[in-house]
């Protein structure tokens, strides 16, 4: 049985373990600073398909297959996934032929943290012995759905972020010798009134603050208790905003606080403006960088705080502000928990 600690953090009794994980990305991501960590890099942005949306499906499906292959044949009792395409079609189509129970999620770019947290809670709650969380995004599919078709050649603002072409999948199980999920802090929808659809980092930073503060308050912890804290895709601008907001709360994250959207590209040379974003950002960085480093012992306790902007092109056109959400999951090395 999970136990609630404080206002909204759930401490897992059985601490589900990480069985396997995999990431599949496009060429730009494969040329970035994390290039050595990805399981697969596709030089072909179409992933062998004939449309960007089918490419995204193929990429998600590859990440799923690769994760299952690395999981030594363990077939999950349940798959949790979602994506950014309208009606979350790429994740649904990626599981179409797999004959496994599927729970569709929509957490925008926070989907990996939401899925990982829910998978851990379902395993901890009994009846489900293993569950796989996966998600991803594709730059070209996202651009034409959210902004302009690539052929239009639209200018990008300095605050804009680059949707990661990438996918990640994590398989959890009750029994595992590896890393453990120990806590889940589900996020609230926080709206700071940002209306600039090209400044997602600013829109999501207040939600990240809300969840990280709640997590720390609930467990009576601070940055001192973590080796590293990752937000999902605030990018360089959102990262700096969150640094400021944390300092105003008396917290000193120092170098322990990092953002997946800052890590995945070389911001000086890869022309991505404020950094990476999209469901695939935190998912691929988790699977290519965070979890491998934890397995190597670089970090022993990590807070993975996925961030999402809950908007659509239509809500922005209708003048709505952009609320954010952030779900946080604590991952620890087995011998420490």
Length of the chain equals 337
CA-based nearest residue to 262, from 283, 287, 240, 247: 240
Binders in 19-48 for a copy of itself, by CB under 8 A? none
Q: Is residue 82 near a copy of itself by the rule CB under 8 A?
A: yes
Q: Sketch the per residue contact string, 295 through 334, with a copy of itself: x for CB under 8 A, - otherwise.
A: ---------------xxxxxx--x-x--x-x-x-------
CA atoms within 13 A on the CB side of 143: 19
Q: Residue 73, SS3?
A: coil
Minimal distance in Å, beta carbon 303 to a copy of itself?
16
Find the distance separating the first CA and the last CA of the chain, reported in whole Å: 16
Ramachandran bin of 127, using left for φ above 0, alpha for ψ from -120 to 50, beta for the remaining angles: left
CB atoms near residue 313 (< 10 Å): 11
Q: Is residue 86 near a copy of itself by the rule CB under 8 A?
A: yes
CA atoms within 13 A on the CB side of 305: 32
Q: Is residue 218 near a copy of itself by the rule CB under 8 A?
A: no
Q: Which is nearer to a copy of itself, 250 or 319 (CB)?
A: 319
Of 35, 51, 150, 157, the residue at the interface with a copy of itself (CB under 8 A) is: 51
Of 22, 55, 59, 84, the residue at the interface with a copy of itself (CB under 8 A) is: 84
Q: Is residue 107 near a copy of itself by the rule CB under 8 A?
A: yes
Phi, psi (deg, nearest 5) at residue 188: -100, 160
Q: Which residues bind a copy of itself (CB under 8 A)?
A: 1-4, 8, 10-11, 13, 51, 53-54, 77-78, 82, 84-89, 92-93, 95-108, 114, 118, 121-122, 124-129, 186-189, 191, 310-315, 318, 320, 323, 325, 327
């Amino acid at each position: 049985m999970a136990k609630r600690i404080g206002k909204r953090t759930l401490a897992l009794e059985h601490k589900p373990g990480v069985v396997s994980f995999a990431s599949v990305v496009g060429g730009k991501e494969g040329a970035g600073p994390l290039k050595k960590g990805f399981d697969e890099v596709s030089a072909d942005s179409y992933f062998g398909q004939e449309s960007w949306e089918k490419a995204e499906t193929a990429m998600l499906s590859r990440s799923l297959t690769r994760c299952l292959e690395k999981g030594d044949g363990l077939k999950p009792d349940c798959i949790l996934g979602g994506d950014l395409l309208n009606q979350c079609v790429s994740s649904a189509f990626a599981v179409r032929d797999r004959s496994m129970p599927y729970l569709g999620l929509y957490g925008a770019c926070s989907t990996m943290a939401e899925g990982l947290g829910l998978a851990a809670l379902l395993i901890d709650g009994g009846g489900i012995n293993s569950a796989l969380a996966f998600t991803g995004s594709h730059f070209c599919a996202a651009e034409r759905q959210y902004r302009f078709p690539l052929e239009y050649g639209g200018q990008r603002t300095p605050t804009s972020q680059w949707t990661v072409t990438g996918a990640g999948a994590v398989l959890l199980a009750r029994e595992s010798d590896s890393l453990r999920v120990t806590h889940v802090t589900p996020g609230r929808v926080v709206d700071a009134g940002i209306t600039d659809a090209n400044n997602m980092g600013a829109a999501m930073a207040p939600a990240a603050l809300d969840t990280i503060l709640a997590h720390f308050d609930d467990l009576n912890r601070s940055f001192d208790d973590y080796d590293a804290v990752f937000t999902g895709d605030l990018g360089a601008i959102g990262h700096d905003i969150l640094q400021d907001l944390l300092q105003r709360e008396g917290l000193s994250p120092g170098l322990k606080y990092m953002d997946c959207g800052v890590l995945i590209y070389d911001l000086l040379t890869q022309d991505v403006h404020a950094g990476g974003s999209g469901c695939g950002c935190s998912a691929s960085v988790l699977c290519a960088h965070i979890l491998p480093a934890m397995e190597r012992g670089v970090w022993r306790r990590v807070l993975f705080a996925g961030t999402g902007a809950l908007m659509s092109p239509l809500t922005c056109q209708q003048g709505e502000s952009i609320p954010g959400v952030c779900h946080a999951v604590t991952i620890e090395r087995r011998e420490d928990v």
